[in-house]
């Protein structure tokens, strides 16, 4: 559970509600047709822009980003060093029997156990990393595009309201409230973009960065195991991917893993 | 037929129409000269920006994107593994007799059957992929530019309307409707950009990504066939291009293809 | 003569003029000082931004883009295959006597005839291509910058008009026309940017893409001639640069060239 | 202590305060709910966009950038030449006993002393540099995003104020002050973005550039020490990273270090 | 002396002044506090964004760009061919005695005369070119950032003026002039950005491009001298960096240099 995200959304929304209550009535800021045109229009343009499968994946990822924990790169380094020790003691073939639900780690182990050449392992894992990056970028892109569609539909809603108001100028007392309603869609579009779509795309980007680091650790680790490198060298090589202050594995631990 | 796209356009337009009906008359939002200046101006600037051939290609691609199905990368992997099995059983020369309407796959087969060196095959296929990417980017660019021209002509139309209104301030009752009409071109320009041009360019980008993945599968597959790799290795190498959850080929199938 | 461009400019301008005539007087939209500040200011900022020589080159290129025809890449492939046949029959030295007004093709032929090593030919031609690209990008950049300067000077003109109007509010009847005149410079700036500068930069980009393809054909062709490759291989290699549906040379023709 | 930064903030703020005092009352420009919605909303969206750890790191970095001095690249070159002289006199093993609080320099020395191959040293240090760059870019990104969130929340605040004002048009005398208050959030958002968030991200970028230069000096220096290069060659190689006019080490000094 | 730049600034400013005179009083457009907030605020944010040393370098470069002439790449090619002839006649060692105030050319000559290996010369000169590019990009960046700060402070000034005006609506006759003054800062910010900061950054970019071409000529020339290449080959190789129509050296001249 990602408490910073929950705190961010709640504090952002309550600040806006508090600002509204200070000098007026919350009901002036609720306009169902306005919400429908902004939210509905944004979803419509998103369905047009991306294949349906990508939109579904993006929405799932956007929800899970608040719940799922990332794998700590330190744990990934530990797993690789363990595999390195196994392969040194029991031979490369032993890696074929490893159980893991990380598909790329599994693929790397299988390729090594099958006796694939370094070149093939490098290419296969590199392609996995590159296509994972592409898929993640694509999912971030869904929310980045939504962040541009929402204010555009906000403006479309405001233009509809303004045109309607300008055609009914005969009753001066209705001008103010009519214009207020017209502005609400711009208000909704800006909030959706600034407090939801842009932050979600940012959070997904942060998660991608950690996943890519884990993939790079698997990649370099697989090569190191194949070359039968000294575990300390493997550790020195892999720990470079983790910020110095976040490294939790000591050199002494390496041989005990 | 791409139902998500059809649903997107219909729901987007009907939301806008519904919002208009809620508080006014649809006829206030129809202005033929306004539509002509925004749509006509956008087309004029597009014809100036791109060679005529590119505009025609882009419009065809924009229409077909709703109908044509992409080739599933899983099918492409299967085709390559089949070719790999053929070449192992009947020799590389057999690939020259393969029939396919994928021009790049055909070219790869011909080059292998003609006994071209790996280097020449790599260069020729790489150039095909790069020029395909360039052509697709160019076609996306037509719609990206249209998405910037439409709001600009919307603004030009609004400025024309405002200048005309400001020169006729003597009749106060005409100010409102005149300004309403002036705003309509901005309204048209924003809708064209947000609900049509940007989404079409996005859909074309998604299609390009799948086509490039298919091309990369052909490229790596051709090299693997040339090197007479083990079909299981070919499968491991090529399946890396497909997201793990979308892979429909099992390892057991490989030898039966 | 590029008819699509001419049609684009004429239709764009006539749409705007028609929209003006529909509800008013064309004279309300002509303001010589406004045109001078937008056009003059844009040219002034352009002269400050780029060396004089680059601005002159850009303006020439902007004019010629409507008249000059590009070399068809198919013709370039044919020329290279002809040269390949000459060099196979008469020796590499024969290329020194080739006459062509394409300076890079000439340079490639001379270097081959002079017996330069592959490495030197590669580097020299690659540098020619890269500096051609840089020069073309620079020329496109002149029009891209003009497309940002024009609306900025439009806004400067409008601000001047607004400040003058706000200092003369005592006569209410003059407010409307004064504000109309103030808005005209924004109108001019937007038209210059959307209907002239952006499209010209786009057209120059399209032309650059074709020239670069021709250069790449020369580059790969020179290497192939040097390696004394089979003409059919040369053809397969070079035709990759042309979109499949635009290839006009058949394999049978290759040996007859 | 970075006096230019302190002078910049103080002069920027005092210019704005002076401009306010010239023609009015400072109290008109203080609106606590407005400040809360802009600052609070910006922080809320930032917490949503980035992992909590990154936001904390960014805020620390943003504060320290005014106090901490960078390491002068000239000093780094001197340190490397000293290490080079030590390794030539006492052997590579002596580098293992070097004390330094630069973690990457320490890692390089340890790897050399442990007898790692050039390839492993290159990869490990290159990865350290790349992940340092990524972490720094991420921290700059926090402030770049804040610079876009602040004006967006300024606009949200202004829209709230406008909607409230438009619903209370019955009292004309309150329109002016109500609209003034509405505009204040836009004012706050623009100042936060222009005078704080953008400049801090710029300052962090400048610091990153110097740190990366120092890392590159360590990288090239480690390779040069491993190859047992002549100290003068090491000096010539490493001084290339420093702008010519900032180089403070003379060639004569090199052998005395 | 760069006459195009002087003509650009003078014509740009005089067009604006002429436009003001046509329909009003120049004094309405002079507002010292407004100029101070835009210019002062821009400088304050710039000092916050960049290290003081970079701002000073950028301002010097911005002034010198109007006076200093660039080195013609043709002259650089001639110098390199002369050095090539010297080294062929007197040996590589003779290059150590060459006098030049181009620091990179000097460094290249020294490294060759000291007998450095090709690899070391390549790396040292490549690093010099890359760090020169970085430093120049940094200096351009100062003016690019100033071009974004100036309109932002223009908007801050306008918001201050609007808030003050809205709090003093009781005197209707003061509204017009007060709003006119408020708009002036936006006017100043736009002029500073469009007529000064953006063009200076463009001019610096053009100069960087020529300097980088000269550096590349030195780089390739040093390698060619080291390999003792034929002067005609050196000439063919180096002239590729110069646009064909600007090449002033004929092949006959090469041996006479």
* Three-state DSSP class for residue E257: coil
For the CA atoms of D133, D136, D142, D144, what is the dihedral angle to 10 degrees?
-70
**Chain C contact for E257 (CB, 8 A cutoff):** no
Rg (CA), chain C: 26
**Chain B contact for C71 (CB, 8 A cutoff):** no
pLDDT over 90, % of chain D: 37
Q: How many angstroms separate the CA atoms of A86 and C36, rounded? A: 79
Reported as a single tens digit per residue, the pLDDT across D143-189 is 999 999 999 999 999 999 999 999 887 777 888 888 999 999 999 99
Residue B174 CB partners (closer than 8 Å, separation 6+): B165, B168
**Chain C contact for B179 (CB, 8 A cutoff):** no
| Inter-chain residue contact D48 with A9, CB threshold 8 Å | yes
DSSP per-residue string spanning B216-247: HHHHHHHHHHHTT--HHHHHHHHHTTS-GGG-
Residue E181 CB partners (closer than 8 Å, separation 6+): E31, E34, E161
Angstrom CA distances, B96 to B109, B113, B257, C233, C255, stand at: 6, 5, 19, 15, 20
Angstrom CA distances, E231 to C109, C147, E237, stand at: 19, 45, 10
| Inter-chain residue contact B191 with A45, CB threshold 8 Å | no
| Inter-chain residue contact E163 with D242, CB threshold 8 Å | no
Contact partners of E by the rule of 3+ C-beta pairs under 8 A? C, D
Token pair for B212: 């490039």
* Three-state DSSP class for residue D159: helix
Q: How many CA atoms within 13 Å lie on the side-chain side of C214? A: 21
Residues D151-168, buried b or exposed e (16+ Cβ, 10 A)?
bbbbbbbbbbbbbbbbbb
Of residues C87 and A192, the one with the higher pLDDT is A192
Q: How many CA atoms within 13 Å lie on the side-chain side of D201? A: 19
Q: Is the pLDDT of residue C196 over 90?
A: yes
**Chain D contact for E56 (CB, 8 A cutoff):** no
**Chain D contact for A54 (CB, 8 A cutoff):** no
B24: left (phi over 0), alpha (psi -120 to 50) or beta: left
The alpha carbon of residue E134 and the mean position of all alpha carbons in its chain are separated, in whole angstroms, by 12
- Per CB-CB distance under 8 Å, the chain B contacts of A125 are 240
For the CA atoms of C156, C161, C167, C171, what is the dihedral angle to 10 degrees?
-170
Would you state the pLDDT for residue E68?
63
Average pLDDT of the segment spanning D226-235: 80
Using pLDDT thresholds of 50, 70 and 90, give the confidence band for residue B1: low
Q: Is the pLDDT of residue B185 over 90?
A: yes
Using pLDDT thresholds of 50, 70 and 90, give the confidence band for residue C93: confident
Q: How many angstroms separate the CA atoms of E244 and E227, rounded? A: 26
Average pLDDT of the segment spanning C79-98: 87
Angstrom CA distances, D33 to A26, C45, D28, D36, D180, stand at: 16, 43, 13, 5, 14
CA distance A87 to chain D (A): 20
User: What's the pTM?
Assistant: 0.91
CA distance E133 to chain C (A): 15
Mutate to test the interface with D, among A1, A2, A12 (most CBs of D within 10 A): A12
CB neighbour class for A114 (10 Å; exposed up to 12, middle 13-18, buried from 19): middle
Give which of A216, A54, A204, A71 is closest to A129, Cα–Cα: A216
| Inter-chain residue contact D237 with E124, CB threshold 8 Å | yes
Secondary-structure percent of chain C, ordered helix, strand, coil, rounded to 5: 80, 0, 20
**Chain B contact for A162 (CB, 8 A cutoff):** yes
Q: How many angstroms separate the CA atoms of D201 and D206, rounded? A: 9
Q: Do chains E and C touch (3 or more CB pairs under 8 A)?
A: yes
Q: Do chains D and A touch (3 or more CB pairs under 8 A)?
A: yes
Residue ranges of chain A with per-residue pLDDT less than 50: none
Give which of A23, E207, E91, C181 is closest to D174, Cα–Cα: A23
Cβ-Cβ pairs closer than 8 A, A with D, add up to 148
Token pair for C103: 């300076």
Q: Which of E107, E127, E167 sits opposite D24 (nearest CB)?
A: E167
| Inter-chain residue contact D45 with A199, CB threshold 8 Å | yes
Using pLDDT thresholds of 50, 70 and 90, give the confidence band for residue E230: confident
**Chain C contact for B213 (CB, 8 A cutoff):** no
Give which of C102, C133, C105 is closest to C210, Cα–Cα: C133
Reported as a single tens digit per residue, the pLDDT across A34-66 is 999 999 999 999 999 998 888 999 999 888 777
Would you state the pLDDT for residue C42?
96
Q: How many angstroms separate the CA atoms of C92 and E72, rounded? A: 35
Would you state the pLDDT for residue A239?
86
**Chain A contact for D180 (CB, 8 A cutoff):** no
Q: Which of B36, B103, B163 sits opposite C244 (nearest CB)?
A: B103
Q: How many angstroms separate the CA atoms of D20 and D30, rounded? A: 11
Q: Is the pLDDT of residue E5 over 70?
A: yes
Would you state the pLDDT for residue C186?
96
Would you state the pLDDT for residue E26?
85
**Chain B contact for A102 (CB, 8 A cutoff):** no
**Chain B contact for A188 (CB, 8 A cutoff):** no
CA distance D96 to chain E (A): 27
- Per CB-CB distance under 8 Å, the chain E contacts of C48 are 4-5, 8-9, 12, 195, 199-200, 202-203
Residue A145 CB partners (closer than 8 Å, separation 6+): A45, A46, A49, A50, B198, B202
Long-range Cβ contact pairs of E22-27 (< 8 A, separation 24 or more): E22/C33, E23/C164, E24/C163, E24/C164, E24/C167, E24/C168, E25/C167
- HEC sequence for B81-105: HHHHHHHHHHCHHHHHHCCCCCHHH
Closest residue, chain A, to D166 (C-alpha): A176
The answer to whether B111 and C236 are in contact (CB under 8 A) is yes
- Per CB-CB distance under 8 Å, the chain D contacts of E37 are 15-16, 19
Q: Is the pLDDT of residue C69 over 70?
A: no
Would you state the pLDDT for residue A150?
97
| Inter-chain residue contact C41 with E194, CB threshold 8 Å | yes
Cα(first)–Cα(last) distance of chain D, in Å? 29
Q: Which of D41, D127, D156 sits opposite A240 (nearest CB)?
A: D127
The alpha carbon of residue E163 and the mean position of all alpha carbons in its chain are separated, in whole angstroms, by 39
**Chain B contact for C191 (CB, 8 A cutoff):** yes
Angstrom CA distances, C186 to B125, C37, C160, C250, E247, stand at: 50, 11, 11, 54, 43
Closest residue, chain E, to D216 (C-alpha): E127
**Chain A contact for D41 (CB, 8 A cutoff):** yes
| Inter-chain residue contact A160 with B20, CB threshold 8 Å | yes
- HEC sequence for A88-136: HHHCHHHHHHCCCCCHHHHHHHHHHHCCCCHHHHHHHHHHHHHHHHHHH
Contact partners of A by the rule of 3+ C-beta pairs under 8 A? B, D
Cβ-Cβ pairs closer than 8 A, B with C, add up to 150
DSSP per-residue string spanning E83-145: HHHHHHHH-GGGGGG---S-HHHHHHHHHHHTT--HHHHHHHHHHHHHHHHHHHHHHHHHHHH
Q: Which of C34, C48, C120 sits opposite E199 (nearest CB)?
A: C48
Of residues B127 and C69, the one with the higher pLDDT is B127
Using pLDDT thresholds of 50, 70 and 90, give the confidence band for residue D246: confident
Closest residue, chain E, to D217 (C-alpha): E127
CA distance D45 to chain E (A): 22
Token pair for E198: 């953006």
Give which of B129, D138, E24, B23 is closest to A167, Cα–Cα: B23
| Inter-chain residue contact C48 with E177, CB threshold 8 Å | no
| Inter-chain residue contact D195 with E45, CB threshold 8 Å | yes
- Per CB-CB distance under 8 Å, the chain D contacts of A15 are 36-37, 40-41, 44
Max CA pair span of chain A? 90
Would you state the pLDDT for residue C91?
85
Give which of C83, C76, C126, C123 is closest to C238, Cα–Cα: C76
Reported as a single tens digit per residue, the pLDDT across D21-78 is 887 788 889 999 999 999 999 999 999 999 888 899 999 988 877 776 678 899 999 9
Q: Which of C135, C149, C162 sits opposite E183 (nearest CB)?
A: C162
Q: What angle do CA E160, E162, E168 make, to 5 degrees?
A: 110
Q: Which of B47, B49, B134 sits opposite C7 (nearest CB)?
A: B47
CA distance E214 to chain C (A): 13
| Inter-chain residue contact C183 with B160, CB threshold 8 Å | no
Closest residue, chain E, to C38 (C-alpha): E15
> What letter does residue B32 receive in the DSSP assignment?
H
CA distance D100 to chain E (A): 26
Q: How many angstroms separate the CA atoms of D233 and E189, rounded? A: 50
Cα(first)–Cα(last) distance of chain E, in Å? 29
Q: Is the pLDDT of residue C168 over 90?
A: no
CA distance C188 to chain E (A): 15
CA distance E95 to chain C (A): 24
Closest residue, chain E, to C34 (C-alpha): E19
């Amino acid at each position: 559970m990602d408490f910073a995200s929950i705190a961010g959304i709640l504090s952002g929304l309550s600040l806006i509600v508090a600002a509204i209550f200070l000098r007026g009535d919350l009901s002036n800021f609720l306009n169902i047709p306005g919400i429908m045109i902004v939210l509905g229009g944004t979803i419509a343009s998103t369905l047009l822009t991306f294949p349906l499968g990508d939109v579904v994946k993006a929405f799932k990822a956007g929800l899970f980003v608040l719940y799922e924990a990332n794998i700590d790169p330190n744990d990934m380094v530990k797993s690789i060093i363990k595999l390195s020790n196994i392969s040194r003691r029991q031979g490369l073939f032993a890696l074929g029997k490893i159980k893991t639900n990380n598909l790329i780690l599994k693929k790397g182990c299988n390729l090594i156990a099958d006796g694939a050449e370094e070149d093939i392992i490098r290419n296969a894992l590199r392609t996995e990393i590159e296509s994972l990056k592409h898929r993640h970028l694509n999912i971030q892109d869904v929310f980045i595009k939504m962040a541009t569609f929402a204010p555009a539909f906000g403006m479309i809603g405001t233009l509809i309201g303004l045109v309607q108001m300008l055609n009914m100028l005969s009753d001066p007392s209705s001008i103010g409230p009519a214009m207020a309603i017209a502005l609400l869609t711009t208000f909704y579009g800006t909030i959706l973009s600034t407090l939801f779509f842009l932050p979600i795309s940012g959070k997904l980007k942060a998660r991608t960065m950690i996943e890519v680091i884990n993939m790079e650790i698997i990649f370099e680790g697989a090569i190191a195991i194949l070359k039968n490198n000294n575990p300390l060298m493997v550790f020195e090589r892999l720990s470079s991917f983790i910020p110095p202050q976040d490294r939790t594995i000591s050199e002494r631990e390496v041989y005990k893993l």
